[in-house]
Amino acid sequence: MEVSIGLIFGALLVFVLITAVGIYAGRKIRSATDFSVGKGMGTTVVAGSLVGTLVGGASTVGTAQLAFTNGLSAWWYTLGGGIGLFAMALFFASPLRNNGSMTMPGILTKEYGKRVATVAAVLMSVGTFISIMSQMISGVALITSVVPVCAVAAAAVTAVLMIFYVLFGGVWGAGLVGRVKTLLLYGLTILCAAVVLHLGGFETLLQLPKEQYFDLFSRGIVVDGGAGLSLLFGVMTTQAYFLPVISAKDLRTSRTGAILGGVLTVAIGMAGVLVGLFMRVHMPQTPSAMVLPVFVLTYLPDLAAGLILATVLVTLVGTGAGLSLGISTMLTMDIYVPLLHPGASGKEQLRFSRSVLLLILLLAAVLATGEAGSVILQWSFLSMGLRGAVAFVPVCFALFRPGSLPGKAAVAAMILAPVTCLFSFYFVKGIDPLFPGMAVSVLICIIGTAIKRSPFRSNR
C-alpha cells in the first residue's frame, strides 16, 4: 500500500509520546530492585502496567483474527484475563503482598525449598516465552501489512522496540507507559467500534451464521471454557502480573488497580470481536492475521489509521517487553543470585537482568519468523495454560494451606502437569490442554497431602 503523510504523522505522534514517557520512567531506576520490582505505584500505574502487559497483540490483532474465523468465542482471551485480574484483586493480592517474595518462584521457595524455585522459574519462563512469541507474530503481521518488508525485518523491528520499551525503564517504564498507552488504546478502540456500527451496525453482522459467530462456546464448552480458564489461572501465576500487585504502595491500591485493569481488559476484547465480524461480512478474503490492520487502513482516515496502528504496535511491544521482564526477573532472583552468583551486587544483578531480557527477545524474534503457526490466540491460550498448570495449585497450597503439601509432590506436579498439557496440545483434539494438565497437578497434590497426613508415615 502507499504510505501517506497522514499515516506517518499519526504514527510519529504516538511514538514521540511513548518515548517521552519512557525517558521519564527511566529516571526512576536507581537499582536492580527498582528495575525489576519498583515500589510505591499508584492505582493508575498498577492498572496501566497490568493492562499494558495483558492487552497486547493477542488481545487486539489476535482477537480480531479469531473473531473473523470463529466469532464471539474470540472474546475469551480478554474475558478470561479480566476475570483473572478480578480474582487476583479479591483473593490473591493480600497473601501475595504478605508473603514478601519478589517473584512467584520465590513464594514456592519459602514453602517447598530452593530446588522448587529452579524448576518453577525454568518452566514458567518457557510458558511465558510462548506468549512473547505470539506478540512477535502479531508484530510481524502488523508491520508487513503496512510496509513492504520481509518477516525477518519485521520481527527484528518488533524485537528492537521491545528492548527499548523496557530496557531502560523496567517495571516503572512498563507501568507509566502502560498508563499512557491504555488511554490511547481505549480512545482509538472506541473509534473502531463506532466505525463498525456506523457502516453497518449489528443488523449487518447478524447476517453471519449465529451458531458459529454469536456463541461464546462455538468451538465447544470444553475448548472455549478451557481457554477462559487458561487465562484465569495463567494471569494469577505469571510474574508480569504479580509484579504490579506487590509494587503498589498499599493493599487497597493493589486491589483497586487490578479491578480497574480487569474492567478495561474485558472491554477491549469486544471491540476486536466487532472488527473481526465486520471484516468477515465485508472483506471475507482477507488473510486472518491481517484483519485488524486491513480494517484500519481501509475504513479510517489516514491520521486516525496512523494513530491506531502505532498504538497497537506499541501495545503488543509493551506486552512482549513486560513478559520478558517477568522472565528476566525470575531468572535473576531465583537462579542467578542464589545459585550462580550469591554475592552479586545490585549493578551485577541489573546487568544480568538486562542481558537476559535482550537474549529472550532476540530468540523470540528468530522463532517467530519460522513455522511457529498462524493462529495468534492459539499460542497465547497454550502459554497461559502452561503457566497455570506449572504453578497454580502449588502456589495456592503455599499461600492458603502452608505446610500441608510436601516439596517432592510440588516438584512432581510442576513437572508432570505442563508435560501433560503439551502432550494434549499436540495429540488430543477437542479438549483444551489445560484440563488434563490441571487434573494431573490436582491429583498429585491431593496424593501428596494425603501421604503427609498419613498416620503410618508419621509413625515411621
Is residue 173 pLDDT above 90, yes or no?
Answer: no
pLDDT tens sequence across 302-335: 988 898 888 888 878 877 877 787 788 888 888 8
Q: Is residue 442 part of a domain?
A: no
**Of 322, 320, 398, 327, which is closest to residue 103 (Cα–Cα)?**
327
98: phi then psi, degrees, rounded to nearest 5? -70, -30
So what's the pLDDT on residue 375?
Answer: 58
Is residue 292 within 8 Å of 68, Cβ to Cβ?
A: no
Is residue 1 pLDDT above 60, yes or no?
Answer: no
Is residue 174 pLDDT above 70, yes or no?
Answer: no
Q: Is residue 218 part of a domain?
A: yes
**Of 61, 11, 85, 45, which is closest to residue 170 (Cα–Cα)?**
45
So what's the pLDDT on residue 2?
Answer: 62
Is residue 384 pLDDT above 80, yes or no?
Answer: yes
Is residue 408 within 8 Å of 431, Cβ to Cβ?
A: no
The domain that holds 215 is classified in CATH as 1.20.1730.10
- Domain membership of residue 324 as a residue range: 5-377
Output Rg (C-alpha) for the chain, integer angstroms. Answer: 21
What integer is the mean pLDDT of 164-181?
58
Is residue 141 within 8 Å of 61, Cβ to Cβ?
A: yes
So what's the pLDDT on residue 172?
Answer: 41
Highest mean pLDDT among 43-47, 76-80, 348-352: 76-80
Is residue 390 pLDDT above 70, yes or no?
Answer: yes
Of 15-29, 153-167, 250-264, the poorest mean pLDDT is in 15-29
Q: Is residue 454 part of a domain?
A: no
pLDDT band at 27 (very low <50, low <70, confident <90, very high): low
Q: Is residue 417 part of a domain?
A: no
pLDDT band at 200 (very low <50, low <70, confident <90, very high): confident
As a whole number, the mean pLDDT across the chain is 83
Q: Is residue 398 part of a domain?
A: no
Q: Is residue 175 part of a domain?
A: yes
* pTM of the predicted model as reported, rounded to 2 decimal places: 0.79
Q: Is residue 185 part of a domain?
A: yes
Q: How far apart are CA 424 and CA 408, in angstroms?
A: 24
Q: Is the dihedral of CA 453, 454, 459, 460 positive or negative?
A: negative
Q: Give, in order, the Cα–Cα distances in Å from 49 to each of 212, 275, 374.
A: 34, 25, 27
Spatial CB neighbours of 455, under 8 Å, sequence gap ≥ 6: none
pLDDT band at 25 (very low <50, low <70, confident <90, very high): low
CA angle 412–416–421, rounded 5-degree value? 150
Helix (H) or strand (E) holding 410: helix 407-427
Is residue 105 pLDDT above 70, yes or no?
Answer: yes
**What's the total number of domains in the chain?**
1
- Amino acid sitting at position 158: T
Q: Is residue 424 part of a domain?
A: no
**Of 53, 433, 48, which is closest to residue 235 (Cα–Cα)?**
53
